[in-house]
Structure 1
Amino acid sequence: MTWESIPRMVLSAAGRFGAAEAVVDGPLRLTFAELADRVRVAAGAFAAAGVGRGDRAAIWAPNSAEWIIAAFGLLTAGGVLVPINTRYKEDEAGDILRRTDAKVVLVQKGFLGREYTAPAGVPAIDINSGFLGDGSPLEREVDGGAVADIMFTSGTSGRPKGVLMTHAQNLRLWTDWCDVAGLREGDRYLVANPFFHMFGYKAGCLASMIRGAAVLPVPVFDAGAVLDLVERERVTVLPGPPTLYRDLLAAAKGRDLATLRLAVTGSADIPVELIRRVAAELPFTRIMTGYGLTEAGTVTACREGESLEHVATTAGTPCAGTEVRVAADGEVLVRGFGVMKGYLDDPAGTAEAVDGDGWLHTGDLGSLDAGGRLRIAGRKRDMFIVGGFNAYPAEIEDRLLEHPAVARVAVIGVPDERLGQVGKAFVVADGPVTAAELIAWSRERMAGFKAPRHVEFRDELPVNETGKTMKDRLR
Structure 2
Amino acid sequence: MADQPAQHTVDLLRRTAAAHPDVDAFVEAGGARISFAAWDRAADGIAAGLARHGVRGGDVVCLMLPSSIRYMLCFQAAMRLGAITSGLNQRLGRAEIEHIVGSARPAVVVVDPDGPQPPPGTRVLAWPELRGFCTEPAPDLPALHRDDVVVLCWTGGTTGRPKGVEFDHDNLAAVAAAAGPLSAPLDRRLSPLSFAHVGTMTRAWDEIGRAITTVITPARWTAADALRVIAAERVTVAQGVPTQWELMLRHPDLATTDTSSLRLAATGGSRVPVDLVYRIRKELGIPVINRYASTEAAVISGTRPDDPDEVIIGTVGRPGAGIEIRLRDDAGAEVPTGAVGRIQVRSAAVMRGYWRDPEATAAAIDAEGWLTVGDLGTFDEAGNLRVVGRLGEMFVRGGYNIYPIEVEQVLAEHAAVVQATVVARTDTVLGEAGVAFVVANGPVGGDELKAWVRERLADYKTPDDVVLVDELPVTPLGKIDRRALIARTTGLAR
Same fold (TM > 0.5) = yes
Q: Which residue of 1 aligns with 2:310?
A: 309
Task: Report how far residue 287 of structure 1 moved.
Answer: 1.8
Pick which of 391-400 and 315-324 moved more.
315-324
Of residues 391, 394, 398 in structure 2, which corresponds to 1:380?
391
2:249 maps to what in 1? 249
SS where residue 350 of structure 2 aligns? coil
In structure 2, the partner of 1:213 is 212
What is the number of equivalent residue pairs in this alignment? 468
- Aligned equivalent of 2:188: 188
Seen in structure 2, the aligned counterparts of structure 1 residues 201 and 217 have a Cα distance that, compared at 3 Å, is farther
**Could you tell me whether the CA contact under 8 Å between 1:107 and 1:127 is conserved in 2?**
no
2:482 corresponds to 1:471: yes
> Partner amino acid for 2:329?
A
Question: 1:128 deviation in Å?
Answer: 8.1
- Cα distance change of structure 1 residues 266 and 92 upon mapping to structure 2, 3 Å threshold: same
Deviation at residue 116 of structure 1 after TM alignment:
1.7
Tell me, in whole angstroms, the C-alpha distance in 2 between the residues paired with 1:466 and 1:100: 19
CA distance in 2, matches of 1:282, 1:316: 22
The separation in 1 between residues aligned to 2:478 and 2:245, in whole angstroms, is 11
Give 2:12's aligned residue.
Answer: 9
Percent identity, please.
32
> Following the alignment from structure 2 to structure 1, what is the Cα–Cα distance between the partners of residues 202 and 428?
47
Pairwise CA distance, 1:29: 2.5
Contact 1:46 1:74 in 2 (8 A): yes
Tell me how far 1:248 sits from its aligned partner.
1.0
**d(CA) in 1 for partners of 2:416 and 2:131?**
51
Deviation readout 1:51-93 (Å, 9 max, x if unpaired)? 1111110111211111111111110121111111111234422
Instruction: Report the equivalent of 1:341.
Output: 352
Alignment root-mean-square deviation, CA: 1.9
Instruction: Say whether the 8 Å CA contact 1:237–1:261 is kept in structure 2.
Output: yes
Separation in 2, partners of 1:229, 1:123: 33
Q: For residue 318 of structure 1, report the CA deviation from its aligned partner.
A: 1.3
CA distance in 1 between partners of 2:196 and 2:128 (Å): 15
Distance 1:436 1:136 in 2: 69
Note if contact 1:237-1:260 (Cα within 8 Å) is conserved in structure 2: yes
8 Å Cα contact 2:12-2:205 kept in structure 1: no
Aligned partners of 2:132, 2:386: CA distance in 1, in Å?
A: 46
- Cα distance in 2, alignment partners of residues 339 and 230 from structure 1: 32
Contact 2:150 2:169 in 1 (8 A): yes
Q: Is the 8 A contact 1:19 1:31 kept in 2?
A: yes
**Structure 1: gaps (5+ residues):** none
Tell me the residue number matched to 2:319: 318
> Deviation of residue 140 (structure 1)?
3.5
CA distance in 1, matches of 2:106, 2:199: 23
Q: Is 1:176 the equivalent of 2:140?
A: no
TM-score (norm 2): 0.90
Number of the residue aligned with 1:290: 291
**Counterpart-to-counterpart distance in 1, 2:122 and 2:475:** 30
Deviations along 1:366-403, one digit per CA (max 9) or x if unpaired, are: 01112211110011100111222111111111100111
Q: 2: CA distance between counterparts of 1:132 and 1:428?
A: 49
| Cα distance between partner residues in 1 of 2:432 and 2:281 | 37
Residue 368 (structure 1) aligned to one of 379, 382, 389: 379
Deviation readout 1:384-433 (Å, 9 max, x if unpaired): 11222111111111100111111111101112222222211001111001
- What does 1:61-210 align with in structure 2 at a 5 Å threshold? 61-111=65-115, 115-126=116-127, 130=131, 133=134, 135-138=136-139, 139-177=141-179, 180-203=180-203, 205-210=204-209
The residue number in structure 2 matching 1:453 is 464
Residue 210 of structure 1 and its aligned partner are, at CA, apart by: 1.7
Aligned position for 1:354: 365
Shift of 1:220: 2.4
Q: Which amino acid aligns with 2:227?
A: L
CA contact (8 A) 1:240 1:264 kept: yes
Change in Cα spacing, 1:356 to 1:202, as seen in structure 2 (3 Å) is: closer
- Residue by residue over 1:271-318, the C-alpha shift from the partner in whole angstroms, topping out at 9 and shown as x without a partner, is 3332232222233x2322121111111111223432222122111111
Q: 2 CA distance for matches of 1:341 and 1:371?
A: 31
Q: Structure 2: 5+ residue runs without aligned partners?
A: 331-340, 487-494
Please state whether the residue corresponding to 1:96 is helix, strand or coil: helix
Q: Secondary structure at the match of 1:332?
A: strand
Q: Which moved more, 1:421-430 or 1:270-279?
A: 270-279
Quote the offset at 1:119 in angstroms: 3.2
Change (3 A) 1:281 1:321: same
d(CA) in 2 for partners of 1:119, 1:240 = 36
Matched, 1:28 2:29: no
Q: Does 1:259 align with 2:265?
A: no
Task: Say if 2:175 and 2:206, in contact at 8 Å, map to a contact too.
Answer: no
Q: TM-score, normalised by structure 1?
A: 0.93
Letter in 2 for 1:85: N
| Cα deviation 1:253-272 (Å, max 9, x = unaligned) | 33222212222222353333
Does the CA-based 8 Å contact 2:388-2:405 persist in structure 1? yes
